[in-house]
């Protein structure tokens, strides 16, 4: 079968550009609206996207003056979207640092049952002291410790999902046996971070496990992805950097004993689309004009771990920024931003303009054909298996992508014209996991 693109829609209130909420078309309350999310999910499903995705963090993300900042709990919101969709996958972010395996494994198994096999979990370790202080801690755990906890968290979760054999439920009314008790097993996990007896109180779900997604690009993050991730959301601003990341992660997956084709790499892209190049550039310029510098500088300063007063709008970044090794959160994003600014000799004003659209993800500005050409270039040159689509403005950005870019890629034979499977794993061409608690179920 000819290799084809995979598309995920990253749902983000009025769009990924931080000034999108200020456009006349935007609903500044979309972040709290079920109807707005239903509309976006249906647009993506009509275009045959693999999935939609909701990011999340157990902390207020930014100054609420900057843009809509309230976030509904993502697994609840995705559960509410089940009834208004039928095929598209539903991916939610949840933290391994501020949850427990039993509760989270139960939540995602429930979502997979309710959606008939469309659930996915974006696994994050959550950087930042502010989140830690919401859970009784003074400081965030160290970067390496967060990933060590995440590794054991996944070990426990997969055991819990597999604590019911696929054939455990027989529902034999004549014999009066609903499930074979011997096919429901404890997990008896006693590790460094967790002690969990099990079994889970939810039977094995249609996909066995939710699709496992990961987004960290630090060294620890890439090692974790190579071991566990089945789809990877990533951010690189150039083709060469995307190719390097793609090759590196596929190599790491192979070294971990996995099939590299079972790790689907999806760089984030922020398409700004116009019927003409001039129209697209006009929209891009309008969005940049609407950025409020005081908020953008404060956010950049937090990412770089410097005093905002040191970031002067019409000067380059300071030469003596903290090194990646000196910070404990968002290491890879910090390095991406600094390298980008240094490479292109950007002033702070120019940098926040570029970051305003995609926070370091690649922004494509152009006509539908130009956007399709760029997607094809990445896909056919070892940089991507598909893309995490992050429209600068919603809903118009996904409407333009779905109705103008997708048909071009379908005509070129690069994207499906209809779903061939029913589960999220089938959309991504991934196998259903064997049971880790069965003798033949070694992963």
| 156-210: pLDDT as tens digits | 999 999 999 999 999 999 999 999 999 999 999 999 999 999 999 999 999 999 9
pLDDT confidence tier of residue 270, bands split at 50, 70 and 90: very high
Does residue 294 lie within any of the structural domains? Answer: no
Spatial CA neighbour of 209 closest among 155, 256, 252, 263: 155
Does residue 348 lie within any of the structural domains? Answer: no
Binding site annotation covers 217?
Answer: yes
Q: What is the pLDDT of residue 343?
A: 82
Q: Which residues pair with 387 in a beta bridge?
A: 7
* CATH classification at residue 252: 3.20.20.30
Summary mean pLDDT of the chain: 91
Does residue 176 lie within any of the structural domains? Answer: yes
Binding site annotation covers 218?
Answer: yes
| 391-402: pLDDT as tens digits | 999 999 999 999
HSE (CB half, 13 Å, CA atoms) of 281?
4
Cα 355 to Cα 363: distance, rounded to the nearest angstrom: 9
Does residue 436 lie within any of the structural domains? Answer: no
Q: pTM value?
A: 0.89
Enclosing domain of residue 79: 6-269+384-427
Does residue 378 lie within any of the structural domains? Answer: no
Strands 6-11 and 51-54: parallel
Binding site annotation covers 220?
Answer: no
| Number of domains present in the structure of the chain | 1
| 66-119: pLDDT as tens digits | 788 899 999 999 999 999 999 999 999 999 999 999 999 999 999 999 999 999
Does residue 195 lie within any of the structural domains? Answer: yes
Does residue 257 lie within any of the structural domains? Answer: yes
Binding site annotation covers 16?
Answer: no
Q: What is the pLDDT of residue 344?
A: 80
- Backbone phi, then psi, for 355, in 5-degree steps? -70, -25
Cα 222 to Cα 27: distance, rounded to the nearest angstrom: 37
Does residue 316 lie within any of the structural domains? Answer: no
Could you write out the DSSP letters of every residue in 260-298? Answer: GGGSEEEEEEEEEE-SSHHHHHHHHHHHHHT--HHHHHH
């Amino acid at each position: 079968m000819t290799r084809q693109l995979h598309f995920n829609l990253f749902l983000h209130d009025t769009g990924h550009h931080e000034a999108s909420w200020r456009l006349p078309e935007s609903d500044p309350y979309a972040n709290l609206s079920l109807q707005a999310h239903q509309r976006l999910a249906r647009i993506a499903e009509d275009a045959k996207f693999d999935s939609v995705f909701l990011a999340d963090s157990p902390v207020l993300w930014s100054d609420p003056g900057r843009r809509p900042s309230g976030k509904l709990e993502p697994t609840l919101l995705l559960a509410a979207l089940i009834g208004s969709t039928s095929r598209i996958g539903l991916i939610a972010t949840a933290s391994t640092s501020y949850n427990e395996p039993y509760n989270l494994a139960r939540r995602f198994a429930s979502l997979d049952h309710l959606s008939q096999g469309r659930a996915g979990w974006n696994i994050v370790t959550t950087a930042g002291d502010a989140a830690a202080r919401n859970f009784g801690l003074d400081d965030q755990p160290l970067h390496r410790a967060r990933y060590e906890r995440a590794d054991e968290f996944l070990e426990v979760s997969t055991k819990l999902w597999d604590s019911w054999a696929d054939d455990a439920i027989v529902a034999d009314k004549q014999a009066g046996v609903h499930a074979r008790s011997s096919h429901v097993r404890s997990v008896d996990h006693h590790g460094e971070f967790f002690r969990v007896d099990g079994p889970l109180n939810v039977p094995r779900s249609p996909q066995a496990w939710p699709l496992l997604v990961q987004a960290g690009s630090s060294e620890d993050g890439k090692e974790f992805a190579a071991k566990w991730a089945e789809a990877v959301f990533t951010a690189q601003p150039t083709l060469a950097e995307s190719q390097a990341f793609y090759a590196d992660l596929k190599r790491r997956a192979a070294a971990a004993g996995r099939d590299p084709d079972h790790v689907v790499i999806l760089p984030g892209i922020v398409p700004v689309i116009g019927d003409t190049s001039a129209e697209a550039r006009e929209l891009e310029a309008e969005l940049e004009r609407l950025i409020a510098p005081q908020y953008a500088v404060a956010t950049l300063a937090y990412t770089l771990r410097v005093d905002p007063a040191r970031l002067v709008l019409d000067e380059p970044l300071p030469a003596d920024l903290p090194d990646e090794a000196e910070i404990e959160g968002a290491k890879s994003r910090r390095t991406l931003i600094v390298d980008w600014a240094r490479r292109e000799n950007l002033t702070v004003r120019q940098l926040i303009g570029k970051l305003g659209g995609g926070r370091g993800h690649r922004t494509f500005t152009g006509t539908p054909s130009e956007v399709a050409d760029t997607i094809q270039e990445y896909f056919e040159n070892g940089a991507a298996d598909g893309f995490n689509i992050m429209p600068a403005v919603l809903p118009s950005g996904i409407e333009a992508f779905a109705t103008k870019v997708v048909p071009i890629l379908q005509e070129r034979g690069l994207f499906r014209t209809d779903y061939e499977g029913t589960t999220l794993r089938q959309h991504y061409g991934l196998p259903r996991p064997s049971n880790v608690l069965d003798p033949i179920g070694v992963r």
